[in-house]
A and B are shown apart, each in its own frame.
Chain A
Amino acid sequence: MEDKERTLWGEFKKGFITTNPLLVLMVGLCSSLAISTRVENCIFMGLAVIFVLTCSNVIISLIRNFIPDQVRIPIYIVVIASFVTIVDLTLKTMPAVYERLGVWIPLIVVNCIILARAEGYASSAKVSHAFMDGLGIGLGYTTVVLIMGVFRELFGTGKIVFSDTTVIDLHIKAVPVILIMFPGAFITYAMLSALLQWYQSRKKPEAGEGS
């Protein structure tokens, strides 16, 4: 099961391009489309996903020989839900962030990325690999939502606001508001996905990826 040719660095960087959760695996889209209206949201959501994903990957990899096959899904859910609850409780101490992200945090439990990595990867990988995989996939998720967030907030509202201070202001009055609404999320996402496909098709197709 454990491929010797896998390197730690390889496990880490695959999350960005070859198995990017959002653009290639196309999992966990629901929350990413919803939260990418603001850069600030993207950062905190990204951090939350990285934390939950890495921790659950490591724990599940650690106890992979202890988990009986028949009850593996309930165990994954318990592990993931525990970490999500920890994030939820921690964020509750930061009301400004919690007010905006509050609805989406519990949804990380059912975010396909995490369960998919637990079932499809961590349950049959070494702890160190699972750790790097969690970090890589988590950062890949964060990078994509950040790009979407910057694009949507900058062009949808004309400025980027971070913790109540305007960081960038384009000084345009007529902005395409559609970008920060749901159709804008789909348009942005589709453009990014197309861009990645185009980029990959220019390179020589590589041999199959990890999961």
Chain B
Amino acid sequence: MIRHILNLGLRLFLVCLVAAAGLGLTYGLVKDRIAEQERRRRARAAETVLASLEATPQENEELTAQLQAEFPDLLSVFEGFDASGARVGYAFVLKSKGYNFITMAVGVSAEGKVTGIKAVSNEETPGLGAVAVENKQFLQQYQGKGPQRLTLEVDVDAYTGATYTSKGINNGVNMALDIWEKMGERT
């Protein structure tokens, strides 16, 4: 009896082992290209949230690494330069917990005002949270707010039917404002 169970387990294990090896191999082959796509998506989102400042984003990896020590959910920092080369704002790409994780870019001007929000990717519920994340009217409310932290239902209205997602977006924006403040202290 015990040998029978061991036999079943061993065979199942072997199949899983081979499958895992195959997946590992595939992942190794494509991971650089996936990372490259992810980087491009972030850059595009950064461009969108800085559009109102007419600024071009440029990723600053050194700054990202420094800030990540304090803000582990921060993924990358883009600096926005205008036509004359002056730094007019930042775009922070960060991860915030809604119902699931939302990866979003938040643009913050040099004065600490939100210049735009754009979801890079989200795992929210289709039809509910996922709609809120893309809803222009909902995100538009944040435009020009800050640099003080924002409270849901006081400074901005939550999206009906997507309370967790609204909280997630709001926390993400507050995180961006915190980061902005932190950077102000440093420079």
Contact B30 A82 (CB under 8 A): no
The yes or no answer to B26 lying at the interface (CB within 8 A) is yes
CB distance from A185 to the nearest CB of B (A): 17
- Chain-B contact segment, one of A66-74, A141-149, A169-177, A202-210: A66-74
Count residues of chain B with CB under 8 A from any CB of chain A.
Answer: 18
Are A89 and B34 in contact, with the CB atoms below 8 A? yes
Complexed CA–CA distance, A79 and B34 (Å): 23
Asked if B131 is at the interface (CB within 8 A of a chain A CB), the reply is no
Say whether B23 contacts A85, CB under 8 Å.
Answer: yes
Report A58-84 residues with CB < 8 Å from chain B CB: 63, 66-68, 70-71, 74-75, 78-79, 81-82
Q: Are A68 and B23 in contact (CB under 8 A)?
A: no
CB distance from B170 to the nearest CB of A (A): 26
**Chain B 16-38 against A: per-residue CB contact (8 Å), 1 yes, 0 no?**
10010011001100100110010
Q: A90: CB under 8 A from chain B?
A: yes
With both beta carbons as reference points, the residue of chain A lying nearest to B19 in the complex is identified as A82
B16 to A, closest residue via Cβ = A78
A86 within 8 A of B: yes
Q: Given A86-B26, A89-B30, A93-B34 in contact, is the A71-B8 Cβ separation under 8 Å?
A: yes
B contact patch SS: helix
Closest-by-CB residue of B relative to A66 is B11
A67: which B residues are within 8 A, CB to CB?
11, 15
A82 to B126, CA, bound (A): 25
B41: Cβ under 8 A from any A Cβ: yes
B7 at the interface (CB under 8 A from A): yes
Q: B37 contacts which of A63, A75, A93 (Cβ < 8 Å)? A: A93
Count residues of A near B (Cβ-Cβ below 8 Å): 20
List the B side residues contacting A93 at CB < 8 Å.
30, 33-34, 37
Residues in A whose Cβ lies below 8 Å from that of B69: none
Specify which of B8, B16, B26, B30 is in contact with A68 (CB 8 Å cutoff): B8
* Residue numbers in B under 8 Å from A63 (CB-CB): 15
Binding site for B on A (CB under 8 A): 63, 66-68, 70-71, 74-75, 78-79, 81-82, 85-86, 89-90, 92-93, 95, 103
Closest 9 CB pairs of A and B: A82-B19, A93-B33, A92-B34, A86-B26, A71-B12, A89-B30, A75-B15, A71-B8, A95-B37
17 contacts between A and B (CB under 8 A): A66-B11, A67-B11, A68-B7, A68-B8, A71-B11, A75-B12, A78-B19, A79-B15, A82-B23, A85-B26, A89-B30, A89-B34, A90-B26, A92-B30, A93-B34, A95-B37, A103-B126
